[in-house]
């Protein structure tokens, strides 16, 4: 099978430090490869490296079997490497026909634009990819799915041999992913390769030939096969490994669990909870009955919502003690100048050190491990004594040791009369918690198990 691209022991440095380290990946003709990793694992660096936007600082890049020491965007395009982001790569104010005509190579700058030929060619493309409408339809009138499929068509028409699809924020729902997957499989049979980059499993993984996990810039693990094997993913990545470290914690975490089995990850935790409250009033009043922060807020004084990327939301350039007090609305211990008293800040820092058994010299967020940052992001909200803390996929991206450490903290937190709600899209993420489980589809059709 012909090799399209290959990275071998690749390293890449940016202003944020090393983002790829000893990373390896190969994609062959007519192959669908999915790369998955948490935020900051190196996914964006991988995409920019393949498209020539970022140069390698070490390792080798091969394109079509030839080494490319000086890879650039122009070189990537000429060799058929094309990237599609979360928004389609079309000119929104132009028609479908004009967008597709714009990709044709210009051999003669004075050539005549044959509008009728462009119209007929675009009509054929719309039929081929089963997109409704006429070639003079404005691109900004297309649905999200139609725009993405047309972007794939544009890439293939421009000679792409490898199409990189960036769905880091899981923007496809199940129906859209199935339709896009059908088009991808059709093009795969024609020898076009696809690299799908995502933050977590999505329906496109079901058509993958290979799935790879990237973590801290390295290829952690990969497996082959058609249907996405969730148990294999969980056991390797550490999600299901919680069945596990609970023994070392000695406590079971008492928490109410909310399992969203709808793949449509555009439904945020806010929208899911709001829909659940509106459509399932009996379950809401009996099991939940807490206030909801505004859409763009994560705390309203009574309920704290901790997103899965809460550790990344810490102010990394500030000290641990400043991160601890920034979420206290009442500014406990403030002086007349509305500044937290230094003695109060030192006390909070000592308590946090005692909680995690940290050395007194650990004062900066950058000195903390990933799981310590996660605990800090929860603990600073706990200080204001909320009635309810909602945790979105709290164990995402953690290994067994980190899961055990966070579980121990949550077990202690559950003893403090704080209602814990675990929100997840993955059963293995909640199966070992002690408490009722509410199963829903994006907040609708809820039931208790």
Domains of the chain, first to last: 3-88+142-237 (3.40.50.300), 242-448 (3.40.50.300)
Cβ atoms of 376 and 320 within 8 Å: the answer is: yes
Average pLDDT score, the chain: 80
Count the residues in the chain: 449
Task: Say if strands 3-14 and 17-28 run parallel, antiparallel, or are unpaired.
Answer: antiparallel
Task: Tell whether the model's pLDDT for residue 303 goes beyond 90.
Answer: yes
Instruction: Supply the pTM of this predicted model.
Output: 0.57
- Cβ partners under 8 Å of residue 269, min gap 6: 305, 307, 390, 392, 423
117-133 pLDDT tens trace: 888 888 998 999 988 88
246-297 pLDDT tens trace: 433 444 677 899 888 765 555 678 888 898 999 999 999 988 989 998 877 8
Per-residue confidence (pLDDT) for residue 157, from 0 to 100:
87
Q: What is the Cα gyration radius of the chain?
A: 25
DSSP structural state of residue 364: B
Phi, psi of 443 (to 5 degrees): 95, -5
Identify the CA nearest to 21 among candidates 222, 217, 221. Answer: 217
Cα–Cα dist 143/145, whole Å: 5
Identify the CA nearest to 260 among candidates 272, 243, 248. Answer: 272
399-422 pLDDT tens trace: 778 888 888 898 888 888 789 999
Cβ atoms of 242 and 422 within 8 Å: the answer is: no
Cα–Cα dist 91/393, whole Å: 37
Per-residue confidence (pLDDT) for residue 373, from 0 to 100:
92
Stretch 199-213: mean pLDDT: 80
For residues 220-252, one letter each, b for 16 or more C-beta atoms within 10 angstroms of the residue's C-beta and e for the rest, the string is: bebeeeeebeeeebbebbbbbbbeebbeebeee
| Between 334 and 427, residue with greater pLDDT | 427
Q: In 1-50, which ranges are continuous DSSP H helix?
A: 43-50
Cα–Cα dist 342/69, whole Å: 54
Cα–Cα dist 362/90, whole Å: 49
């Amino acid at each position: 099978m012909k090799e399209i691209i290959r990275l071998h022991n690749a390293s890449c440095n940016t202003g944020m430090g090393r983002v790829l380290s000893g990373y390896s990946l190969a994609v062959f003709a007519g192959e669908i490869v999915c790369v998955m990793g948490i935020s900051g694992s190196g996914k964006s660096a991988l995409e920019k490296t393949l498209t020539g936007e970022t140069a390698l600082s070490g390792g080798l890049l091969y394109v079509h079997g030839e080494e490319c020491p000086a890879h650039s965007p122009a070189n990537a395009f000429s060799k058929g490497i094309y990237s599609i982001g979360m928004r389609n790569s079309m000119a929104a104010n132009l028609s479908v026909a004009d967008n597709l005509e714009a990709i044709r190579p210009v051999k003669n700058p004075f050539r005549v634009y044959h509008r009728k030929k462009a119209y007929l060619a675009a009509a054929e493309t719309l039929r081929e990819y089963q997109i409704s409408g006429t070639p003079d339809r404005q691109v900004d009138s297309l649905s999200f799915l139609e725009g993405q499929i047309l972007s794939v068509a544009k890439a293939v028409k421009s000679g792409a041999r490898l199409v990189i699809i960036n769905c880091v924020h899981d923007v496809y729902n199940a129906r859209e992913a199935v339709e896009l997957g059908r088009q991808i499989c059709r093009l795969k049979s024609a020898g076009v390769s696809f690299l799908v980059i995502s933050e977590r499993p999505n329906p496109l993984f079901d058509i993958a030939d290979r799935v790879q996990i990237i973590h801290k810039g390295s290829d952690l693990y990969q497996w082959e096969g058609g249907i996405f094997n969730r148990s294999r993913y969980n056991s390797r990545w550490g999600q299901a490994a919680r069945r596990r470290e609970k023994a070392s914690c000695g406590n079971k975490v008492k928490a109410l669990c909310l399992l969203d089995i709808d793949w449509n990850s555009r439904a945020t935790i806010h929208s899911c909870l709001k829909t659940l409250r509106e459509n399932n009033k009996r379950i809401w009043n009996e099991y939940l009955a807490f206030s909801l922060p505004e859409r763009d807020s994560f705390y309203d004084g009574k309920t704290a919502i901790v997103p899965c990327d809460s550790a990344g939301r810490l102010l990394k350039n500030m000290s641990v003690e400043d991160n601890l007090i920034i979420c206290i609305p009442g500014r406990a211990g403030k002086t007349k100048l509305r500044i937290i008293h230094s003695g109060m800040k030192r006390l909070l820092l000592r308590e946090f050190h005692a909680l995690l058994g940290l050395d007194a010299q650990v004062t900066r967020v950058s000195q903390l491990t990933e799981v310590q940052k996660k605990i800090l992001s929860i603990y600073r909200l706990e200080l204001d004594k909320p009635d309810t803390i909602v945790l979105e996929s709290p164990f995402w991206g953690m290994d067994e040791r980190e899961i055990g450490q966070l579980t121990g903290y949550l077990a202690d937190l559950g003893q403090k009369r704080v209602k814990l709600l675990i929100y997840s899209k993955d059963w293995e993420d909640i199966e070992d918690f002690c408490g009722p489980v509410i199963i829903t589809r994006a907040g609708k059709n809820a039931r208790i198990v």
